[in-house]
Amino acid sequence: MAQEVTQVLLNAQSADGVVRKLAEDSLKQFQEQNLAGFLISLSHELANSEKPPDSRKLAGLILKNSLDAKEAARKQELVGRWVSLDPTVKTQIKSALSQTLSSVVPDARHTSAQVIAKIAAIELPQGEWPELVGSLLANMGGPQVEQPAHLKQATLETLGYVCEKVSAEILAQEQVNAILTAVVQGMNASETSNDVRLAATNALYNALDFAQTNFENDMERDYIMRVVCEATLSTDSRVRQAAFECLVSIGSTYYEKLAPYMQDIFAITSKAVKEDEEPVALQAVEFWSSICDEEIEIQEEDFTGDSEVPYFQFIKQALPALVPMLLETLTKQDEDQDQEEGAWNLAMAGGTCLGLVARAVGDDVVPLVMPYVQENVSKPDWRCREAATYAFGSILEGPSLAKLAPLVNVALNFMLSAMTDENTHVKDTTAWTLGRIFEFLHGPNVQFPVITQENLPLILAVLLESIKDTPNVAEKVCGAIYFLAQGYEESTGALSPLSPFFQNIVQALLATTDREDAGDSRLRTSAYETLNEVVRISTQDTAAIVIQLVPVIMQKLNHTLEMTVLSSDDREKQSELQALLCGVLQVIIQKLGASDATKFGIVQYADQMMTLFLRVFACRSATVHEEAMLAIGALAYSTGAEFGKYMTEFYRFLEMGLQNFEEYQVCAVTVGVVGDICRALDDKVLPFCDGIMTQLLKDLSSNQLHRSVKPPIFSCFGDIALAIGEHFEKYLIYAMPMLQGAAELSAQQVIRDDELIDYNNQLRSGIFEAYSGIFQGFKSNKAELMIPYAGHILQFIETVYQDKDRDDSVMKAAIGVMGDLADTLGPSAAPLFKRAVFYKDFLDESTSSDDQQLKETAEWALSTINRITNMG
């Protein structure tokens, strides 16, 4: 097979399906029967310059895919296979790959660089392949040895990939220094090959995390910064773009080291923004956006006292020159920018950066932007009008309300009249700006509200007319109505200022969802999301209109079940509609089900709704399943014990959801629905509990299920125990070891990663919710069953108390369980509390908390524990 591998690789790319299939099967068989021979053949094919480019390219691709995969389990399997190969086999493969770096065929070099990096990612952390970095650096030549440009380019590319794949602490500092020296020399203006300079600049981008020590040293840092800045002036636009990408990354990674270079950086970014090609100019603007991000974060951390980084106020210092530079970009719009999905251009980048500047410096940005707005907003050229509106909209988050409110009050009528501008771009940006005005300057807590009883009718008249405009404009109008509605969320009493217009708004949004072109610019989705928000904030006086919506939405959902589905596009459209409509019904159910006065409105339609939801499960889309499940959960909560009549038919879908490991969000939502059903049915859920508990225990034992689903499962144990009380006894021997194991695991975690800290807190909350439900469920007549576990539970609470990363919800849950334990076990728990000295400190700390709920829970727990310890 080794001799004929070339022909097989060529056949695997044949246009003839039969030939291709035979070749693919042959390769698969070779791989399964003799992995070492297979990988050696591929590496030799890739290295052999006499072989056809197509066979070499595929050999490299298969080699790369034999070492890495996106899916974690598959990746682990491939790594294991490589590790278990004979060392002489690995040496042969690595030698062939290193040889390929000198190939004159760019594809072969590129693939070899990637494969070397994938092997390095496996071997370097294990202390293997120690000679790799040295052998790569030797390819770069030296004063006496001039290596060919293509070898240097491939070597730098490889070094970049290795730095990307390997974590910074794996390489010794002298190796890092040698890599950086080679990379920076490759970037130098004296390097005659632009391909080498480009590869070196990309490599530096990947190596920046390794350069901590070098950035601490003034001379080395100066040298790196000089070379990066010089590369932004290269004659090759690819090198200039890559150099600015490096600057962006340096801005984020080494903010505190930038002060000496900011004047030079301003000069080169300003030149690029004004004169360079768009891809380069975009990166130059991105540098300032990254500095804004850093300074906004520092301000937020300063506010909480967590900041360790000095705050240099670079943006504030650069303002007088930076703002004019950004304003200049705003008239660089593309004629068809709205029609291009996801298009990103200089005007958008400039406006986005201006918005970040406003958040970073607040009021100081306003006097620099407003003259531009006033000067351009009425000009004949649409570009000027659109740019002025974009500039105004961009600075609405950040400055104080006192500064903005007078300006917005003056501008609002002008904006409303601009919704009839002859140019679509101007209308689009005006609608977006109105949305931002409603988002940031309207609401119950806004000191200087710009929306009043007087101007609300005009605002709504304009919006409801403009929602009929082109899809991109109408989509922004939906956004504006969304924020307008959200601002009335806390309307006191039964009346909302929006109530008189409620019916017209609902009708306009429904009409929008039915438009022929509602599939463009996310319009249909936006209209339904806005309808949900309008319903969510509605008040008692419009409940009758909300109830009338139910049959309308049900009819639409029924219609989707009868759609003709002939293509994947049809299927996608059907799924999108079903998910949106289930979402609307969920919001309506929650709204009407929350009050006794309107609950009947839901109950009368419950049978029809449930029939529709069950039919929707026939669809194969995860999003639809998720939305239908959420709607059913809301229905169970609203209908209470009445929901029992649907359980027999619904149960199989519930089980399907709990078994859905692949689409774990569906599984998580289904677990939540089990909780809703337990609260609705109480002990009437008992006939279904064996199946539910079996499936939940399977989920917890599975390595395939995403970890985020496990905390809600524990919480669900608590819901079930609370619903079925003493009947939970038969599950105790399965549930408690799971809870104890998870508690021990969570106590052992040594974490410095924010994401893991969050997960650990969620896990602990879930465990505590389970314990709480079980204690309360057993309180009446099975309390003694929990005595064997009480010591372990208190020990877990102590671990949590000593962990400085615990959050407030975990504290509340822990104290609640301490109280439940004392309340349920009574005097039998007294000796445990007398030994557990920590609990007094924990409760003292919590009773003096500002959080009222935590304080009350702690006071209740303390009095319960005092009662039993005084008795015992």
How does pLDDT run across 44-97, given as a tens digit for each residue?
999 999 999 999 999 999 999 999 888 777 888 899 999 999 999 999 999 999
Predicted confidence (pLDDT) at residue 213 exceeds the cutoff of 70: yes
The arrangement of secondary structure in 400-538, i.e. its CATH architecture, is: Alpha Horseshoe (1.25)
pLDDT tens for residues 24-47?
A: 999 999 988 999 999 999 999 999
Q: What angle do CA 596, 599, 604 make, to 5 degrees?
A: 145
Which of 57-71, 258-272, 489-503, 633-647 shows the lowest per-residue confidence on average (mean pLDDT)?
Answer: 489-503
Q: What is the pLDDT of residue 404?
A: 95
Alpha helices in 703-786 (DSSP H): 710-724, 729-748, 754-778
pLDDT bracket for residue 737 (50, 70, 90): very high
Q: What is the pLDDT of residue 399?
A: 96
Predicted confidence (pLDDT) at residue 207 exceeds the cutoff of 80: yes
pLDDT tens for residues 793-842?
A: 999 999 999 888 888 899 999 999 999 999 999 999 999 998 988 999 99
Average pLDDT estimate for 16-22: 92
Sorted by where each begins, the domain ranges of the chain are 254-333+343-398, 400-538, 732-872
Q: Tell me whether domains 400-538 and 732-872 share a fold.
A: yes
Q: What is the pLDDT of residue 340?
A: 45
> Which 3 state secondary structure label does DSSP give 15?
coil
pLDDT tens for residues 547-564?
A: 999 999 999 999 999 998
Residues 183, 172: Cα–Cα separation, whole Å: 17
Residues 806, 371: Cα–Cα separation, whole Å: 49
| Helix pair 754-778, 710-724: axis angle to 10 deg | 10
Q: What percent of the chain has pLDDT over 70?
A: 97
Residues 167, 171: Cα–Cα separation, whole Å: 8
Cα Rg, the chain, nearest whole Å = 32
Residues 103, 183: Cα–Cα separation, whole Å: 21
Q: Is residue 863 left, alpha or beta, with left meaning phi > 0 and alpha meaning psi from -120 to 50?
A: alpha
Predicted confidence (pLDDT) at residue 752 exceeds the cutoff of 90: no
Alpha helices in 803-851 (DSSP H): 808-825, 830-835, 838-847
Residues 740, 744: Cα–Cα separation, whole Å: 6
Query: 661, 617 in Cβ contact below 8 A?
Result: no
Residues 149, 136: Cα–Cα separation, whole Å: 14
Residues 673, 654: Cα–Cα separation, whole Å: 8
Residues 473, 459: Cα–Cα separation, whole Å: 16
Residues 822, 827: Cα–Cα separation, whole Å: 8
Predicted confidence (pLDDT) at residue 332 exceeds the cutoff of 50: yes
Residues 120, 114: Cα–Cα separation, whole Å: 10
Q: Which residue has the tokens 């029924």?
A: 558
Give 458 or 496, the one with higher predicted confidence: 458
Alpha-carbon distances of 163 from 65, 202, 210, 372, 861, rounded to whole Å: 20, 11, 8, 45, 54
Predicted confidence (pLDDT) at residue 295 exceeds the cutoff of 60: yes
pLDDT tens for residues 648-672?
A: 999 999 999 999 988 899 999 999 9
Q: What is the pLDDT of residue 336?
A: 66
Q: Which residue has the tokens 């879930």?
A: 766
Q: Classify residue 260 as exposed, middle or buried by CB count within 10 Å of its CB (0-12, 13-18, 19+).
A: exposed
| Eight-class DSSP state of 210 | G
Q: Long-range pairs for 435-439 at CB < 8 Å and ≥24 separation?
A: 435/476, 435/479, 435/480, 435/482, 435/483, 436/393, 436/396, 436/397, 436/483, 437/393, 437/396, 437/408, 437/412, 438/480, 438/483, 438/484, 438/486, 438/487, 439/396, 439/397, 439/483, 439/486
Average pLDDT estimate for 515-537: 95
Query: 545, 503 in Cβ contact below 8 A?
Result: yes
Q: What is the mean pLDDT of the chain?
A: 92
Predicted confidence (pLDDT) at residue 1 exceeds the cutoff of 60: no
> Which 3 state secondary structure label does DSSP give 421?
coil
pLDDT bracket for residue 342 (50, 70, 90): low
Residues 383, 329: Cα–Cα separation, whole Å: 11
Q: What is the pLDDT of residue 814?
A: 95
Query: 526, 576 in Cβ contact below 8 A?
Result: no
pLDDT tens for residues 366-402?
A: 999 999 999 999 999 999 999 999 999 999 999 999 9
Handedness of CA 730, 734, 737, 738 (dihedral sign): negative
Q: What is the pLDDT of residue 306?
A: 61
Q: What is the DSSP secondary-structure string of 16-27?
A: SHHHHHHHHHHH
Question: What fold does the segment set 732-872 form as a domain?
Answer: Leucine-rich Repeat Variant (1.25.10)
Residues 115, 398: Cα–Cα separation, whole Å: 47
Give 748 or 128, the one with higher predicted confidence: 128
Q: What is the DSSP secondary-structure string of 228-241?
A: HHHHTT-SSHHHHH
Predicted confidence (pLDDT) at residue 341 exceeds the cutoff of 60: no
pTM higher than 0.85 for the full model? yes
pLDDT bracket for residue 2 (50, 70, 90): very low
Average pLDDT estimate for 445-462: 90
Residues 769, 712: Cα–Cα separation, whole Å: 9
Give 779 or 619, the one with higher predicted confidence: 779
